[in-house]
Structure 1
Amino acid sequence: MTDVLFPYPADDRKPVLAATRLWLERAVIGLNLCPFAKSVFVKKQVRYALTAATTADELLAELDKELALLAATEPAQLDTTLLIHPQVMTDFLDYHFFLAEAEALLRNNGYDGVFQIASLHPQYEFAGSEPDDVANYTNRAPYPMLHLLRESSIDRAVAAFPDAADIFERNIETMEKLGHGGWRKLWLG
Structure 2
Amino acid sequence: MSTSATDHAAVVANTVAWLEKAVIGLNLCPFAKAVHVKGQIRYVVSDADTPEALLEKLMEELQYLADADPEQVDTTLLIHPRVLADFEDYNEFLDVADAALEDLQLDGELQVASFHPDYQFADTHKNDIENYTNRSPYPTLHLLREDSVERAVEAFPEAADIFEKNIATLRALGHDAWDKLLEVKG
TM-score category (smaller protein): over 0.9
Q: Which whole-Å CA distance do the structure 2 matches of 1:33 and 1:60 have between them?
A: 28
Q: Residue 68 of structure 2 aligns with which residue?
A: 73
Match status 1:64 vs 2:69: no
Q: Which whole-Å CA distance do the structure 2 matches of 1:187 and 1:95 have between them?
A: 23
Opposite residue 84 of structure 2, the aligned amino acid is M
Q: Residue 26 of structure 1 aligns with which residue?
A: 21
Q: Which whole-Å CA distance do the structure 2 matches of 1:56 and 1:77 have between them?
A: 29
Q: Which whole-Å CA distance do the structure 2 matches of 1:173 and 1:71 have between them?
A: 35
Within a 5 Å distance, the mapping from 1:101-120 to structure 2 comes to: 101-120=96-115
Aligned residues: 184
Q: Residue 91 of structure 1 aligns with which residue?
A: 86
Match status 1:154 vs 2:156: no
Of 163, 166, 176 in structure 2, the residue corresponding to residue 168 of structure 1 is 163
Match status 1:126 vs 2:121: yes
Opposite residue 79 of structure 1, the aligned amino acid is D
Offset at residue 18 of structure 1 (A): 1.1
Stretches of structure 2 that go unaligned for 5 or more consecutive residues are none
Q: Which whole-Å CA distance do the structure 2 matches of 1:13 and 1:108 have between them?
A: 29
Offset at residue 49 of structure 1 (A): 0.5
Offset at residue 156 of structure 1 (A): 0.5
Q: Which whole-Å CA distance do the structure 2 matches of 1:128 and 1:10 have between them?
A: 39
Q: Percent identical across equivalent pairs? A: 55
Q: Residue 137 of structure 1 aligns with which residue?
A: 132
Deviations 1:88-144 (CA, angstroms, capped at 9, x unpaired): 000000000011011011112111110110000000000010001011000000000
Opposite residue 27 of structure 1, the aligned amino acid is A
Offset at residue 181 of structure 1 (A): 1.2
When normalised by structure 1's length, the TM-score is 0.95
Match status 1:15 vs 2:17: no
User: Aligned-pair RMSD on alpha carbons?
Assistant: 1.1
When normalised by structure 2's length, the TM-score is 0.96
Offset at residue 7 of structure 1 (A): 4.5
Deviations 1:136-157 (CA, angstroms, capped at 9, x unpaired): 0000000001000000000100
Match status 1:186 vs 2:181: yes
Q: Which whole-Å CA distance do the structure 1 matches of 2:132 and 2:159 have between them?
A: 19
Stretches of structure 1 that go unaligned for 5 or more consecutive residues are 1-5
Deviations 1:9-29 (CA, angstroms, capped at 9, x unpaired): 023222211110100000000
Q: Which whole-Å CA distance do the structure 1 matches of 2:162 and 2:46 have between them?
A: 30
Secondary structure, counterpart of 1:118 in structure 2: strand
Offset at residue 164 of structure 1 (A): 0.4
Q: Which whole-Å CA distance do the structure 1 matches of 2:52 and 2:22 have between them?
A: 31
Q: Which whole-Å CA distance do the structure 2 matches of 1:43 and 1:31 have between them?
A: 19
